[in-house]
Structure 1
Amino acid sequence: MTHHTTQSPQFFLTAPSPCPYIEGQFERKVFTHLVGDKAPEMNDLLTQGGFRRSQNIAYRPACESCRACVSVRILAGEFQATKNMRRVIQRNSDLIGAMHDAEPSTEQYSLFRRYLDARHRKGGMSDMTVLDYAMMVEDTHVDTKIIEYRKRGPDSFITGRGQGELIAVALSDKMADGMSMVYSYFNPDFEDRSLGTFMILDHIARARAAGLPHVYLGYWVNGSRKMSYKVRFMPQEHLGPRGWERYEHEAV
């Protein structure tokens, strides 16, 4: 049996596989296991070093000839919503997000399947079963939360919970220096609400309220349309050879 410790984590390298973002490129990842009592501390350190979490695995790109994937984190305390973002907040003012421990439900999976079938039918997650989804949510040794977004009910201001159908869900890790958005999905019938943007804005507000400086968004790939939204949330920092550096870009 292999034992993993905080002092000497073991890292592994995947075999090359086609890159999902840049045609003609091949990706490789370096990864390690996040298990045991020290997993939250290790997750903090690795996330600050450009890793992402998937279940009990922390990984980051290790491609031989490409450095297009860049880790991005929003500076929550300095963030100011653009005019378009303020419209998104207003458009979703009838929603309330309830945060609780990472526990899957059939209602979540039903929404998850609708989202995948509408937006990512040919993606790598398209064949995930209800058990696969449960593992994605539950298989964590860090402080992982589920935020469910529903329409406000008459008692929302008392209980803090919305009522009605589930409209959007975010799976996120709470860390010492911020929140890391692991995965989010929403009802594709409400595309005009810009729910993906709204959930990021909600995470920024939650981080700021908790006094946490960062919201980690994962990887931005310059030139990839599906990743372009990540550089709209300013100010932010990108992880490069000299560490985290402020990235200047005009938000819209």
Structure 2
Amino acid sequence: MSTQRYKCMIQYDGTNYVGYQIQKNGISVQEVIQKALKKMFKGQKILIEASGRTDSGVHALGQVIHFECPANIEPIHLQRALNSLLPADISIKHTERVSDEFHSRFHAKGKKYMYRVDLNRFADPFKRLYTLHHPYRIDLVKLQQALDKLVGEHDFTSFCSTKTIKEDKVRTVYQAKYEMDEEKNELVFTFVGNGFLYNMVRIFVGTCLQIADGLKEPEEIDRLFEVKDRNEAGPTASGKGLYLVEVYYDNQFLEKLEKRTSPPWPMKK
């Protein structure tokens, strides 16, 4: 039986899931989508592959998956049918036919992540699942200095979970910046790189917030590159503030990145 490979860009609110990848300890995004596909194709099991996993509570604005479909269906019809079977916290935003050679994970050239930090004095109950509450005065100059040091090719051993199975911990970070959303009083981090290790962005945030709080100096980043010890870095920030924004499949995104990170002062709207 002939098949057709499809690529989908999906969004999800990760609050109710143990992460993207199927696990034994709870329901995952992958499991929900595969069950919807199985129902659509009358019991036939269809496996999906993603650009990478996201952890419990982490959200996605632009996760990418692919799968083999047992029928050649117009992408828009496949998208509508699949969305009708998915819960409200998962949505297929774009669907297209791709060649049998395309692979959502192996062909990814880079990823963009965002992390939201709520700086308001008192926690907002409507942000509790989507931001990290951090009601402290922060030094934006030191924060920028720390972020600048993360840019480039480095061994990020100190910035990844000890549970990672990756032996090679060298990655390239193309962009590490912040913006101030003054209307919401949020600090919004953006990280773009050719790949990210397990918990890497969350440890970036936890470490940089310590520096912004004055607990450590920006030069701490240099020391962490040298010691290559996860226990020396800052805490792993909560998954609820993290968003996978976009996955890149060609290198054109590098041309669009700013040559430097945001200036060390609040950006006005």
TM-score (norm 1): 0.29
The structure carrying a bigger strand percent of its residues is 1
TM-score (norm 2): 0.28
Larger Rg: 1 or 2? 2
